[in-house]
Amino acid sequence: MAEKHTIYFAGRITGGRKYADLYQRIVEQLKTYGKVLTEHVANPTVEADEDNAGLTDVFIHDRDMDWLYDCDVIVAEVTQKSLGVGYEIGRAVALNKLVICLFRSDSEKRLSPMVAGAVGEKFFVYNYKEDQLPEIFANHLK
């Protein structure tokens, strides 16, 4: 049986929800390995929902930082450029968390060298196709 993890999923919210459907499929797979603290990132209307709830930037930052402190692994979908996701990854590295970055190899985009070149003992970057996700997650989260 898989060890239960506390997982922080990071994906682009502000500036475009092009991959929201993909985020939903990723989160569903991650939930088989434990609790996903940031499941809302996969919601296609998350930005509007947070605005409608009156959540301030400070509230969102502090809430998300609490979750980042509480998690043992961050899984970041990094195909869509996002300052927020980059910030979350940097903070996760500083907190010595396991970091798994996912970049769609068929996206015709280029991953920032600051992410692509950061591989290490607890930092992994995958140029992936969606059908490879189960194996990637099993290798790190089993």
pLDDT digits (tens, 9 = 90+) for 56-111: 999 999 999 999 999 999 999 999 989 999 999 999 999 999 999 999 988 888 99
Q: What sign does the CA torsion over 56, 58, 62, 64 have?
A: positive
Predicted local confidence at residue 59, as pLDDT: 95
pLDDT of residue 31: 97
Q: Please report the pLDDT score of residue 97 as a whole number.
A: 97
What is the average pLDDT across 120-140?
Answer: 96
How would you label 50-63 residue by residue, b for 16+ Cβ within 10 Å and e otherwise? beeeeeeeeeeeee
pLDDT surpassing 80 at residue 1: no
Output the pLDDT for position 84: 94
At residue 47, the pLDDT reads 81
Return mean pLDDT, the chain. 92
